């Protein structure tokens, strides 16, 4: 459990909050690169409780600026994206990607006023088909992200995102919880060929690292050995996990996969869930067709989304279209889609979960460790120190993995060559 005070410190993310100050020390995913085109329409962006507007200028560079013009607070969303700048259509003030005012036609030609006015702009960086934003103090800006999935060739990587109507922390904790997959994601009740159905009480070992922690989930398969899955929690809100073995039998095993999520707060009560998948094998690319099928299996395919949005058709308003008959005969949840099942449970907790009422068990070690690290990091930032995981060199070579370890073998020996990034 967490005290109400500590829960507030971690879940409130707006400007001036302890949790918000921590999250602003890291690069955060803001948009998919494909969402912006040069001289195209600007897009509204809300992150960490701040309203912003993003645009791609004539040169292809991205600007992310305050949602409102510094003149009379007119909305920059209606701005005209032209000739390497975004022009407010109220009085014509124009700003480049760095926030510099480059034109002020409503003032006399000899006026120097434009040299004294800027619009707040945040640094942006593109990598891994993602536009990243840094919203913290400029003097403490870290190098850009260098995850293996960011470095992987575009042919071997796919990215998507979905909207979640819940605080980022309960979504992150769901992603770090391996035990729930034996229940919430068990869509074949009684199928003992699925390794996570054969042992629903995994043993967890958590080891702190400079970037967060590594944790190992071990399930006993009897004479067949042990199913071991190695995860990485990369601060502040990313989980990487092996999927090379665990999805065998799903029809999607033709691409040996590694995957993960980043949970980014929109504000205190809503979040973006970024979904990454990349090929474990440099010789096996990911095709658009394969990814479309994979997204549909997770419940976030094209047909699962409200057109023109990243929001699911199945949501709290319609109880995620739960089928009680299916729940009694085929699955634990009666809800179709792996991530849809997650969202039903996470959103159903309420916008911000009351952690003072929890009763945590042995399979919650990873969640407990995550909270401890975040609270320590909040305190570090308050004390003027750098939080854990801002340095890309701490995580750039890590890779998750999973496999069945035969009787008499150890995962440490068997996995050693597989836990090092290949891209």
In this structure, are 231 and 273 located in the same domain?
A: yes
Residue 150 has pLDDT above 80, yes or no: yes
In this structure, are 50 and 97 located in the same domain?
A: yes
Give the model's confidence band at 412: pLDDT under 50 very low, under 70 low, under 90 confident, else very high.
very high
Residue 358 has pLDDT above 80, yes or no: yes
Q: What is the pLDDT of residues 273-318, one digit of tens each?
A: 999 999 999 999 999 999 999 999 999 999 999 999 999 999 999 9
- Higher pLDDT pick, 33 / 257: 33
Residue 24: inside a domain: no
In this structure, are 121 and 154 located in the same domain?
A: no
Contact 301, 295 (CB under 8 A): yes
In this structure, are 171 and 298 located in the same domain?
A: yes
So what's the pLDDT on residue 309? 97
In this structure, are 205 and 59 located in the same domain?
A: no
In this structure, are 96 and 245 located in the same domain?
A: no
Nearest-angstrom CA–CA distance, 6 and 9: 5
The partner residues of 323 in beta bridges, in order of sequence, read none
In this structure, are 278 and 358 located in the same domain?
A: yes
Nearest-angstrom CA–CA distance, 318 and 304: 14
Averaged over 187-194, what is the pLDDT? 79
Residue 353: inside a domain: yes
So what's the pLDDT on residue 253? 58
Averaged over 69-82, what is the pLDDT? 98
Averaged over 342-353, what is the pLDDT? 97
Q: What percent of the chain is modeled with pLDDT above 90?
A: 92
Q: What CA–CA distances, in Å, run from 356 to 3, 267, 287?
A: 5, 22, 45
Residue 233: inside a domain: yes
Residue 143: inside a domain: no
CATH of the domain at 296: 3.90.380.10
Residue 356: inside a domain: yes
So what's the pLDDT on residue 99? 98
Averaged over 174-184, what is the pLDDT? 93
So what's the pLDDT on residue 187? 84
Q: What is the pLDDT of residues 385-407, one digit of tens each?
A: 999 999 999 999 999 999 999 99
So what's the pLDDT on residue 3? 96
Give the model's confidence band at 188: pLDDT under 50 very low, under 70 low, under 90 confident, else very high.
confident
In this structure, are 236 and 118 located in the same domain?
A: no
So what's the pLDDT on residue 252? 55
In this structure, are 105 and 154 located in the same domain?
A: no
In this structure, are 109 and 211 located in the same domain?
A: no
Residue 14 has pLDDT above 60, yes or no: yes
Mean pLDDT of the chain: 95
In this structure, are 248 and 303 located in the same domain?
A: yes
DSSP letter assigned to residue 41: -
So what's the pLDDT on residue 247? 58
* H or E element that contains 44: strand 43-47
So what's the pLDDT on residue 195? 80
- Phi and psi dihedrals of 21, rounded to 5? -65, -40
CATH of the domain at 72: 2.102.10.10
DSSP line for 176-208? T--GGGGTTT--STT-TTSHHHH-SS-EEEEEE
Contact 364, 387 (CB under 8 A): no
Last residue within a domain, chosen from 94, 126, 158: 126
User: Beta strand 157-164 with 94-95: parallel, antiparallel or unpaired?
Assistant: unpaired
Residue 249 has pLDDT above 60, yes or no: no
In this structure, are 50 and 99 located in the same domain?
A: yes
Model pTM?
Answer: 0.95
Residue 361 has pLDDT above 80, yes or no: yes
Domain count, the chain: 2
Last residue within a domain, chosen from 126, 160, 189: 126
DSSP line for 227-264? EEEEEEEETTTEEEEEETTTTTTTT-TTS-EEEEEEEE
Domain enclosing residue 99, as ranges: 36-126
């Amino acid at each position: 459990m967490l005290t109400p005070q500590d829960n507030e410190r971690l879940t409130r993310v707006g400007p001036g909050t302890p949790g918000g100050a921590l999250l602003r020390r890291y690069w955060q995913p803001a948009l998919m690169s494909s969402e912006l085109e040069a001289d195209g329409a600007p897009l509204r962006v809300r992150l960490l409780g701040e309203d912003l507007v993003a645009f791609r200028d004539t040169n292809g560079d991205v600007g992310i600026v305050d949602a409102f013009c510094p003149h009379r607070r007119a909305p920059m969303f209606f701005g005209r994206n032209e000739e390497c700048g975004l022009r407010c259509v109220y009085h014509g003030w124009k700003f480049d990607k760095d926030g510099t005012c480059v034109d002020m036609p409503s003032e006399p030609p000899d006026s120097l006023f434009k040299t004294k006015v800027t619009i707040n702009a945040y640094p942006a960086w593109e990598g891994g088909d993602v536009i990243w934003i840094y919203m913290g103090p400029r003097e403490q800006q870290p190098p850009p992200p260098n995850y293996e999935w960011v470095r992987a060739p575009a042919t071997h990587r796919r990215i998507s995102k979905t909207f979640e109507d819940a605080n980022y922390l309960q979504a992150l904790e769901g992603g770090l919880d391996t035990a729930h997959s034996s229940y919430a994601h068990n869509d074949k009740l009684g199928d003992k060929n699925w390794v996570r159905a054969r042992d629903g009480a995994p043993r967890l070992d958590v080891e702190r690292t400079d970037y967060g922690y590594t944790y190992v989930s071990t399930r006993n398969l009897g004479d067949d050995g042990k199913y071991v899955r190695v995860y990485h929690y990369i601060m502040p809100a990313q989980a990487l996990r092996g999927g090379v073995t665990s999805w065998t039998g799903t029809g999607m095993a033709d691409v040996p996969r590694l995957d993960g999520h980043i949970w980014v707060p929109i504000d205190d009560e809503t979040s973006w869930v970024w979904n990454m998948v990349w090929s474990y094998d440099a010789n096996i690319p990911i095709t658009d067709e394969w990814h479309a099928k994979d997204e549909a299996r997770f419940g976030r395919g094209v047909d699962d989304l409200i057109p023109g949005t990243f929001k699911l058709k199945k949501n709290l308003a319609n109880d995620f279209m739960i089928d009680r008959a299916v729940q009694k005969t085929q699955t634990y949840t009666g809800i179709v889609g792996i991530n849809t099942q997650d969202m039903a449970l996470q959103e159903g907790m309420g916008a911000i979960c009351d952690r003072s009422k929890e009763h945590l068990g042995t399979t919650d070690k990873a969640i407990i460790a995550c909270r401890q690290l975040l609270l320590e990091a909040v305190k570090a930032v308050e004390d003027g120190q750098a939080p854990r995981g801002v340095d890309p060199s701490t995580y750039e070579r890590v890779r998750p993995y999973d496999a069945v370890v035969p009787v008499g073998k150890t995962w440490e020996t068997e996995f050693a060559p597989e836990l090092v990034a290949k891209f």
